[in-house]
Amino acid sequence: MTLAVVWNSPSGLHFASDSRISKGDKSSDYGVKIVPVHVKVFEPAKDGAPPPVAFDSVYGMCFAGEFSGASVIRNFLAITLQRLQFVPTFTNVSFLNICKIVDKIYAELSTKLQSEIETDSIDFFLAGYCPHNKRTMLAKFYIDYGDAIDKFEPKYEIISYESASQPIYYIGSGENEFSLHLDIHKEKPISKRPLYALQSLIKSGRISSVGGNIQVGTFDSNNEFYMLGIAEEHKDENGLIRAISYYYAGIDMNSNSIETDDGAFMVMGNFVDPFRLIL
């Protein structure tokens, strides 16, 4: 689980990643690395009444690192972030304060997982709307190994992407190779350059743990995060479209095994060709 990318374009923040997860010398391309997470903050309850909702939004997360550990952290955050509470007299509802509680959970879990089952580094981006600053904000959570062999320190930082001349950020073991592919596609507009770089890195096969389909996530007009499925056209020798696949990670939602004709539900996703979509 090796590469997560976030970048800013004129239309806002976007996430992308590959779909490969690895265990030893084996790999699978069914890893979901980009996920929406529900953030809900309550005020204190009064007189036995239900606590008023102070903030309700959907943030985005994009993981790199050891997959099983990332899944544990993702699940804990999915549970805890939808039941936060604050005291208006002492604090405010802000992206910074949300990051502070995320950091506490991240530090506790990543340290325990490393000491007990020796998980590797678990890094991720978190982005979402800040009601205090009235804009979408971005943070990176990562393990600082420092210069000491035995150092393992979970940290986070708020990224001021709006002022960056090249607002493209990435984490994972494929970082160095991804940087080279960004340079290969330097003539592409900022809105598409990370996608072209990720696609060419995957196709190159130079990093065995980076592979599978691209995943993409972005924010809607209400500043809420959602994941995009990937539409891929399959053409015949004459260039005519013979089929279209709709992917979430490695699963084609339009395949015979998923798309049934027995009256059951079907998956309704936002499937796009990210190279045609205006980002």
The CATH number of the domain where 45 resides is what? 3.60.20.10
Inter-residue contact 39 to 58 (CB < 8 Å): yes
Lowest mean pLDDT among 47-61, 111-125, 218-232, 261-275: 261-275
| Nearest-10 Cα torsion for 215, 15, 155, 158 | -170
Domain membership of residue 251 (yes or no) is no
* Average confidence (pLDDT) over 120-144: 94
**End-to-end Cα spacing for the chain:** 25
> pLDDT, tens digit, for every residue of 10-21?
889 999 999 999
Structure confidence at residue 110 (pLDDT): 92
Domain membership of residue 17 (yes or no) is yes
Q: How confident is the model at residue 1 (pLDDT cuts 50, 70, 90)?
A: low
Structure confidence at residue 276 (pLDDT): 78
Inter-residue contact 133 to 155 (CB < 8 Å): no
What's the number of domains the chain is made of? 1
pTM: 0.92
Give the structural domain span for 189. 4-228
- Gap between the Cα atoms of 232 and 129, Å rounded: 31
- Gap between the Cα atoms of 194 and 23, Å rounded: 26
Structure confidence at residue 261 (pLDDT): 65
- Judged against a pLDDT cut of 70, whether residue 27 lies above it is answered with yes
Domain membership of residue 177 (yes or no) is yes
Percent of the chain with pLDDT over 90: 60
Domain membership of residue 64 (yes or no) is yes
Structure confidence at residue 233 (pLDDT): 87
Domain membership of residue 63 (yes or no) is yes
Segments of 86-204 assigned E as strands: 122-130, 135-144, 153-159, 168-171
Domain membership of residue 275 (yes or no) is no
Structure confidence at residue 148 (pLDDT): 64
The overall average pLDDT reported for the chain is: 90
Domain membership of residue 233 (yes or no) is no
- Judged against a pLDDT cut of 80, whether residue 259 lies above it is answered with no
